[in-house]
Structures are given as structure tokens and as C-alpha cells.
Amino acid sequence: MKLKYDVVIVGSGIAGPIVARNVAKEGFKVLMIDKKAEIGTPKRCGEGISIGAFKKYDIPYDKRFINREIYGAAIYSPSGYKLEVKHNHVAGVILERKIFDKMLAYYAAKAGADIMAKTEAIGLIREDGKIKGIKARHEGNSLEIYADVIVAADGIESRVARWAGINSFLPPHELDSAYEYEMIIENIPDPDLIHLYFGNEIAPRGYVWVFPKDEDRANVGVGIAGDNPRTAKYYLDKWIKENNIKGVKILEVNVGGVPVGGFLRELVKDNVVVVGDAARQVNPIHGGGMAEAMEAGTIASRYITKALEDENLELLKGYTEEWWSKDGARLMRVLKIRKISEKLSDDELDAAVQALSGADAESLISGDYKKVFKALIKNPKVLLKPKLLKLLTEAI
């Protein structure tokens, strides 16, 4: 079967539906396909997102996909020193991605986009040396989807970008290997906060997270450096065993890779546009990528709309430029900090957490690392750790 659209989007996660909705809203003919029979499943996510994302990206605050409102975060050092920030207002939420992703696709559909689940991209259509669309398959039937613009929103395992000749290979060190249980946990220290546990024995390069969905139910997961010889599963099971976690009953097992670095330089090639995990657009410190995918999707939509309006596909390249000058530049700064923090010993992590105040944590969350580092290098606990001091000084 042959189909013709202005834009075909491969992948209905976070970035895909944002692009589909925004471009369809401008009156263009959009098709979004997803290989999964059920959009949103299985999740590969801790499901936490900051409250600001709803307004910023025009997403309804719909209780159907909000499990729990969260008021802040607690960070634990290897020896158990705690740094806590708790607001008197909602700071973020723990979503139900199964419903959230499906609703994002629904909003795209309401804006006029066509959606096809259980439809997998299997190759590009090339004619006269030009990319003309996507070959796909649905229940054994072949589809030829012709489109002026092709959007690769096909996640960590993206094939569309590679087909187009974009090298999206991610070295194992730039990947976090993640494993998570959605489970009953009866002793969450404070179910109104997210809890993050750091340490080289706990989660090499990463952290263990407890994201409460109820007072006694949470996403409990771990991310570790992808080149670590042990598995993420090993570290999560070890943490649960060693920390006297009560009432463990496993409701879901979630597994995934998180790109933490290696942001694609080339976000557009000819008429192919790459967004979200496929473009490695994830915060390399905490591994969250939903807000980043929304941001990239929003920028990409503007340039796709412009390129279609002006019938000039060269304009798509503006997306690469704008993303790199804004979110790309920010994420590169975050990556620089990550590269320093991953070198810290447990002893140094303890010292850093002890030296930090609640106000510092606020600055860290808002991304003002320099301010915090400047304060830290004057702290007596930090002054006693020459390597930590040197790393912090380098970062400033």
C-alpha cells in the first residue's frame, strides 16, 4: 500500500507526538507510526518529570497519567549523609508512562495527525538518490509511506538515523545501563520526595532511585555506566538486599539503556530529522530525557513547519543550529560536570554532600553548578580533599 504525507514520524514516545501535534496543528498532513502494539509499553523510565514541563510544552495536567505529586528530593552519599530539598509546592510528578505516552499520541491525533500502532519501519524509500519516505510493515502488510520530511523519534535503538547515514553509534561509556522494579516498598523514607542514592559500590557512575507512585509503591531502579563489567540488575538486587527494603513485591520489571553523552552533532541530514533518545538528547547527570525530548521536539516542529511552508528543506538545518546553541550547549556543560563527578571516590562524595546546603541543592537542581562549586572550594571539608578540590577548581 502506498501512502503520501507531508511528514512521517517514526516512534511515538515523547519527542514523536510533540512533533506530530505541533506540525499537524499548522495544517500539514502528518503520520506517526510506532512498532509497539500498545503505545507507551513497556516503559523504560523512572517516570519523574518537573512540574514546569506541562505549561512549557502545552501538555494538559491530566490526573489520569499522574501517579503522585512530588515536593522535592533527597540525595544520599555513600555513608548515608543526606541532602534534602522540600518545597511547600509541587515540584514534579511521577507519571504513568503507559497512559502519558498514549495521551500524547491522542493529543497529536486530535490536532489532525494520523497514528498507526504496531507499524514498524523497516527501511527508507530512496529514489534518484533521494530519500522519499519510509518502508514499514503492519501485521505482515507492506507500506510505502512517502513524505517530504522524515522524523526519527525511534529511541535509543534508532535505525532511521543510521539508514539516513547519520552515525548514531553510542560508545558504551556514553550509555547508562538501567534496571528498575516497579514494586511495593513499605519503608520509603518520605513518599513526597524522590530519593537518590550515590556511591561507587551502590551504582558506579550512576545512582539508585526511589520514585514514589504511592506511599508504599515506587519505581526503584539503578543506572550504571554501560562499560561496567557487572550488570545493572546485579547492582539493584544488591541494593535492595543490603538496605533492608521491606515488603518487596514486584509489579513490573523495566530494562533500558540511557544515552548520557554523545549528543548527535548532525541532527538533520537531507530531509531526515532526529529527535529525543535517538538524537541522544538526555541530561547526562540524572539520565532524564523527557523534558529534553519535548524541547527538541518543539524546536524541530518549528523548523519542519517553516521548511514545509517555504517549500525549502534546507531550512530544516536551523533545528540543528538552534538546538545546539541552546539545549545542546546546556547539556554539554552538564556533561562536563558529570565527567568530573564520575571520578569522585566515596570519601569525596561524602565530603561533597556534607558540605552542601539546601540552598546549594536548589542551585544544582536549577543547573547553576558554578555557583555551588565556588562555594564548595571554600568549605573546610572540601579543602581537606585535594583531588576533589582540584576537580572542582577545574570545573570553574
Tell me the per-residue interface mask from 272 to 311 with another protein, x by CB under 8 A, - otherwise.
Answer: ----------------------------------------
Q: Does 326 bind another protein (CB under 8 A)?
A: no
Binder to another protein among 145, 170, 299, 315 (CB under 8 A)?
A: 170
User: Nearer to another protein by C-beta: 168 or 301?
Assistant: 168
User: Nearer to another protein by C-beta: 158 or 305?
Assistant: 158
Q: Does 156 bind another protein (CB under 8 A)?
A: yes
- Give dist(CA 268, CA 131) in Å, integer: 13
Binder to another protein among 3, 26, 42, 90 (CB under 8 A)?
A: 42
Of the ranges 161-169, 281-289, 306-314, 355-363, which one interacts with another protein (CB under 8 A)? 161-169
Q: Does 213 bind another protein (CB under 8 A)?
A: no
Binder to another protein among 71, 81, 106, 234 (CB under 8 A)?
A: 234
Residue pair 9/301 in contact (Cβ under 8 Å)? The answer is no
Q: Does 56 bind another protein (CB under 8 A)?
A: no
Residue pair 131/164 in contact (Cβ under 8 Å)? The answer is yes
Task: List the interface residues with another protein, window 172-201 (CB under 8 A).
Answer: 172, 175, 177-179
Binder to another protein among 63, 127, 229, 378 (CB under 8 A)?
A: 229
- Give dist(CA 396, CA 392) in Å, integer: 6
Of the ranges 78-86, 94-102, 151-159, 368-376, which one interacts with another protein (CB under 8 A)? 151-159
Tell me the per-residue interface mask from 240 to 279 with another protein, x by CB under 8 A, - otherwise.
Answer: -------------x-xxx-x--------------------
Min CB(301)–another protein separation in Å: 25
- Give dist(CA 62, CA 54) in Å, integer: 10
- Give dist(CA 165, CA 185) in Å, integer: 46
What b/e string do you get for 150-176 counting C-beta neighbours within 10 Å, with b at 16 or more? bbbbbbbebbbbebbebebebeeebbb
Q: Which residues bind another protein (CB under 8 A)?
A: 42, 44, 120, 122, 137, 155-159, 162, 168-172, 175, 177-179, 226-229, 231-234, 253, 255-257, 259
